[in-house]
Each structure stands twice: as C-alpha cells, then as structure tokens.
Structure 1
C-alpha cells in the first residue's frame, strides 16, 4: 500500500507543481494590475483649487517663480500615411484653442519625421526599442515622456484643447507652471497620460526614460533566441489579442501609474529615486520629499469642474477590450470579489482532485470481511 500511496503523491506533485507556478505568476501579475486601479500617492489638486490660488496670489507667493517652461508639446503621427502631416480638421481646431490663447508659449507639433530626428540626436540608444513597439500608439506614448524629460513643458493629446484664461493679461496655462511636475488623474483608478507637465530633467521622468531605454514594452529584433523570448514575453496580453492591455501596461497609462507608485514608495523609504539606494536624512514632507501632484480631471457629471482643458474626439487606438477594463475601473470591488471567488473555486477543485488521488489504490473493506477476519 505504501508504494501505491507514494506513486499517487508523486503523480499529484507532477501535475500540481506547474499549475501552482502558473497560478502564482498569474495572481501576482493580476494583483499588480488591480493595485494600479486603487488610490494613488502624491498630492491631489483640483483645477479650481489651482485657479483660485493663482487668482488670489497665494500660488505665486508660495512658489516664488514658475518651474515649468512655457512649451506646449503635441504629437501627430499619421499611422496610415507617415508622410502626410495634415491634421484632421477637428484636431487642428482643438490645438488652436491652446495656441491662440497662449501667445507667450512656444508650440511644438511633433511628426514622424521630427520625432525620429529628436530621438536620433538625443537618445540614439532608444531608437531600436522605439521602432520595435508592436503598436504605433506606443511610440506616441513613449515619445511624450522623453520630450518632458528633455525639454519640460506641458504635453497634451490632440483631442484635448484649452479653455480661455482665468485671469486677464495672462495666458491660460500660466497657473499650471508653478509646480515641478503634475500628472492627470481621471478619478477612475488608473492615472492618465493624456495631459502631463514637468520641469526639465525631473527624476520621475528620468526613471521612466531609463526603463524605456532598457527595453520596456519593446520586442527584441536580434537573434532567433531573442525573438522567441520576446514572443513569450507577450503571453500575458495573449500575443496582442488584448490590445488595450499590451498598450496600457507596456508603455501607456498603467505603466505610468506603476512608475508613479514606485517613485513615491522609494521617497517614503528614503531611497534615491534613480539608484534605489537609501539616503540618510530624508524628510518625508509634501514639498521637501518631492511628492508629486495629481491634477484631477474627472469628466463624469457632478465631479470637479474643468478650468483649463477641454476634451474632444479621441480613442483612435482603442480596441475591443477597452470597454472591459473601463468597466473594471468603474466596478473594481466587484471585479476583485469575482477574482477571489475564482481563485477559491480553483483551490476547492484542486483539493477535491488531491483527495480523489489519495483514494486510488485502496479497496473499501466491507463489514462482512472484517467479521470473517475476526473469527
């Protein structure tokens, strides 16, 4: 009986070990994904709060001088015809709402040609990764981070425009230049990368740029072994079937949300945000520690008003799975409970299988047999 029992245990171990490893990998990645949809660190500010502080002068008094240079960046890559740099009429009108009411600002529209020239000149080691992204929108995502790190300024997607100035005699975006860095928060869990701002060489964008140069989200274009490794790396998005997942988690807004949380975690631990080494004497304070700002931009009815920006036609890169993750963001607790139930069900099925395997090789003894043996 012992050999039979040992064989059963060995058989269960052979089957269960790879299943448990896959489950561990899957669950840890899902938990990391869920974390992106919860409350993020940093200092949340509404557009109205910024506007009021600018109008009454407290923003200028506390900050002394603007930190973000007056540069507006936008990117237009015509994916179907890269040589055609003519913008759709609605996007062209949208961008002029920013150009016309910010006359003291420099405006830069980055096309395919100018984007490649910028990266070739300043970040040539990133070009192979940049050109290998499986989705064209990933190049637009990555480029904006390099532009903010290198030049600073405010980046806007082409489906975003600007509202009139809140103060006569000043440009509409001037109030937003007094912070070292801010990112937009749509209030639905995941942070957004549609409107971003920073001073040049900010360490947050330094960390992001360094990770992208190392190949984050890129596909290897070298040997067959490297290509096969790159193919395997895409399993979590079902090799591009989950398009929204691959774009968002690769170099998009989910990636930025994770980088944001990690940056603040390192600040809390007193670590250098570039090297990860502990720095003595770090004071955790809203200003001294370098905590960053989340500019609230929730466009749902009843939420804080938009004072500086508008929203137009967008989502040109969205796929079929976009609505799925929008619903997850809206009903995160329900999704979490469903996920926990599925994990519990899998555990229960595994336990039943284990008990069934243990029972093999044994014969149920009838009461008559026991009576015969006792006589």
Structure 2
C-alpha cells in the first residue's frame, strides 16, 4: 500500500517511511525529494488536525555537543517547530543525557553503567536516541535534519494512527543500484514509548558491548572504535534494522 509521504530530509536525500506497528503491520510510505524552492503545505489554520498517532508524544528530541547548536541547525530546528506548533523540542546535552539515563533506567543498572562508561561520543549518541524514545517516545532528529513541507501530524495515514508504534525510513533507497545493504536510517525516528522493537535494539547493543569487553579484556570505558568496528553495525542504522526485523520475526536484507 503506497501513499504520498512526508518530507523530513537530510542532505536532500529521498527516503521511504515504514510504519512498524505493535500488531506487526508493515506500511511502506514513500517520501518526496526535498525541494527548498518548492511551496510549503504548512497552514496554521490546520492546527486542529489530530496528532500523528495518539500513542506517540508530540515531542522532538535533539542532542547537542560541547559546541552547542550551529547557526544552520538552529534555523532548521526553528523552522521545524514553526511548521509544527503542537510539537515541543527537548535539547539534550552530554550532562542531561547522563542524568536522564540514570533517572529513567534505574531498574536496568547494566544499561546505566554501560551508558555512563562509554567514552566514544558517536556510540553514546546512538545509544541515547534509543533510550530516550523507549522511555518517553516522540521523535528523534539529528541536528543536520530539517523538516520539510508535510506537517508531522500528517506523516501517518489516518487508518494507521491508532496502531503505529514505530516510524523509520529506508536509507539510500534510490540511485545506488542493487549492490548495497538496505537498512533503516537512524537520523529520524518516530516512536511510541515502550516500543518492543527499540527494546530489542537496546538489548542487542548491550550484548554487543559485553561481547567486545570480553573479547578485548577491557572495561566499557576503554572501548574504542577500533575495537567495536563499524559504528553503522554496532549502534547505528544496521543495528536498528536488525532489531526491528528481529522483533517482527523476519530477516533483514
């Protein structure tokens, strides 16, 4: 079942949105190519539309590094909130991320210890997005992602809004031929809290961390990228892809 999709772009890359529902419904949703010069469909008079999903909070998570927001990222964030006034932004820092994990994962001390001990920024940032969305839900957006023309409340078809639990997109879906690994992108994720798909991803990351610390005989704090291998596999898009398909009981390609 195909339908015209939203525009949520990174580096003007086209993508395909997939809704992964708790009832294991897969819905393929193609996105439009970003066109900065094109007209916006945003209309303040349409703010009365229902949320994209009653299960997904209208909250957008961002994570900044020590340098804070760049001018470009600030413009994208402001534009996204202007076009989606019902949504609010939560900007996390290294310190607030640590605090959040400690406060919300007290029943999983293994997760707290591993997260706080990680010293490689990209691994920690990847891990944080899954932890935030599993605990509270909402939308994760990398700082180099901008909202496009379609309001977030229209991202999910009305017939699926009550069931949608996770929304992700294909990365590298056009222009790459057939000889590449298809995977979900992780720079924009929409999720309901408690998504079983994200729990699988979180537990898989924990397993990966344990395996690498045992393999190299080091504590988590001494893990390096040379030890963990490709970030895409360890905490990034391929990890997300494997976890999503594993929870659905099907194999990833």
- State TM-score, norm by structure 2: 0.65
* Residue of structure 2 in register with 1:176 after alignment: 155
- Would the alpha carbon gap of residues 65 and 182 (structure 1) be closer, same or farther in structure 2, given more than 3 Å must change? closer
Q: Which deviations, in whole Å up to 9, do the C-alpha atoms of 1:86-116 show, x marking residues without a partner?
A: 3111111121111222111121011111101
Question: Aligned to 1:217, what secondary structure does the other structure show?
Answer: helix
- Would the alpha carbon gap of residues 253 and 134 (structure 1) be closer, same or farther in structure 2, given more than 3 Å must change? farther
Deviation, structure 1 residue 65 = 5.9
Structure 2, unaligned stretches of length 5 or more? 1-17, 21-25, 33-48, 174-179
* Residue of structure 2 in register with 1:129 after alignment: 114
1:247 aligned to which of 231, 234, 246: 231
* Residue of structure 2 in register with 1:97 after alignment: 79
- State TM-score, norm by structure 1: 0.45
Counting helix residues as a fraction of each chain, which structure ranks higher? 1
Equivalences, count: 193
Residue 185 of structure 2 contacts residue 237 of structure 2 at CA under 8 Å; is this kept in 1? yes
* Aligned counterparts of 1:113 and 1:90: Cα–Cα separation in 2: 23
* Aligned counterparts of 1:128 and 1:76: Cα–Cα separation in 2: 22
* Residue of structure 2 in register with 1:283 after alignment: none
Structure 1, unaligned stretches of length 5 or more? 1-39, 49-59, 79-83, 167-171, 221-225, 232-238, 269-331, 333-375
Matches within 5 A, 1:1-375: 42-47=26-31, 66-78=54-66, 84=67, 86-124=68-106, 125=109, 126-133=111-118, 135-164=120-149, 166=150, 172-176=151-155, 178=161, 179-186=164-171, 187=173, 189-212=182-205, 214-217=206-209, 220=213, 226=214, 228-230=216-218, 240-241=225-226, 245-265=229-249
* Aligned counterparts of 2:245 and 2:102: Cα–Cα separation in 1: 30
- Would the alpha carbon gap of residues 134 and 161 (structure 1) be closer, same or farther in structure 2, given more than 3 Å must change? same
Residue 120 of structure 2 contacts residue 225 of structure 2 at CA under 8 Å; is this kept in 1? no
- Would the alpha carbon gap of residues 156 and 75 (structure 1) be closer, same or farther in structure 2, given more than 3 Å must change? same
- Would the alpha carbon gap of residues 201 and 46 (structure 1) be closer, same or farther in structure 2, given more than 3 Å must change? same
Moved over 6 A (4+): none
* Aligned counterparts of 1:264 and 1:194: Cα–Cα separation in 2: 21
- Would the alpha carbon gap of residues 64 and 217 (structure 1) be closer, same or farther in structure 2, given more than 3 Å must change? closer
Deviation, structure 1 residue 227 = 7.6
